[in-house]
């Protein structure tokens, strides 16, 4: 593996660790009181569902789908070096939320509330960035064989 490969592994580990750290502090601090920072309200929400709380209580479904998606991203990471930046974001986000579901009483820790969106966490942001980068790559890639 070359230096670029190690960079993407380090990026993935950094993103994952940073998300875990923010969730740790969210549970410790926001379980006592919520707080505001400019237009962002920080409040602790334990999400039993998917995005926006849909399919609440379907924990094993989300663990199964998340595991398959994570495994697919890891396989694709090795097969498509051009997609590694987007896959790094996806792997970090999905694995952290999956860890919440497996170890955290089947719930994902959400804590960022900007009032126009449902409460979310950094993993959700990472997943969104990863998907947007994949879309951008596919729209701008002229070679048909490299497209997803």
19 within 8 A of 123, measured Cβ to Cβ: yes
128 assigned to active site: no
User: Does the structure show a pLDDT above 90 at 85?
Assistant: yes
Point out the catalytic residue in the list 19, 100, 113, 124.
124
Q: Mean of the pLDDT values across residues 44-69?
A: 82
Point out the catalytic residue in the list 100, 110, 113, 128.
110
pTM: 0.88
124 assigned to active site: yes
State residue 147's pLDDT score.
52
Q: Model confidence over 115-145: pLDDT tens digits?
A: 888 889 999 999 999 999 999 998 888 665 5
Among 76, 57, 78, CA closest to 68: 76
User: What residue segments make up the domains of the chain, in order of their start?
Assistant: 3-146
**Higher-scoring residue by pLDDT: 54, 97:** 97
Q: Which residues sit opposite 6 in a β-bridge?
A: none
pLDDT confidence tier of residue 55, bands split at 50, 70 and 90: low
State residue 143's pLDDT score.
62
Query: Rounded mean pLDDT of the chain?
Result: 88
């Amino acid at each position: 593996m070359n230096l670029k490969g190690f960079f993407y592994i380090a990026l993935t580990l950094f993103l994952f660790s940073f998300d875990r750290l923010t969730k740790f502090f969210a549970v410790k601090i926001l379980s006592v009181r919520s707080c505001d920072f400019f237009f962002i309200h920080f409040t602790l929400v334990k999400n039993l569902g998917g995005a926006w709380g849909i399919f609440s209580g379907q924990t094993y479904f989300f663990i199964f789908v998340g595991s398959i998606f994570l495994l697919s991203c890891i396989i694709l990471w090795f097969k498509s070096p051009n997609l590694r930046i987007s896959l790094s974001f996806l792997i970090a986000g999905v694995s952290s939320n999956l860890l919440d579901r497996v170890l955290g009483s089947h719930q994902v820790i959400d804590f960022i509330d900007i009032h126009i969106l449902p409460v979310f966490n950094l993993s959700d942001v990472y997943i969104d960035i990863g998907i947007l980068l994949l879309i951008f790559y596919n729209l701008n890639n002229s070679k048909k064989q490299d497209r997803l």
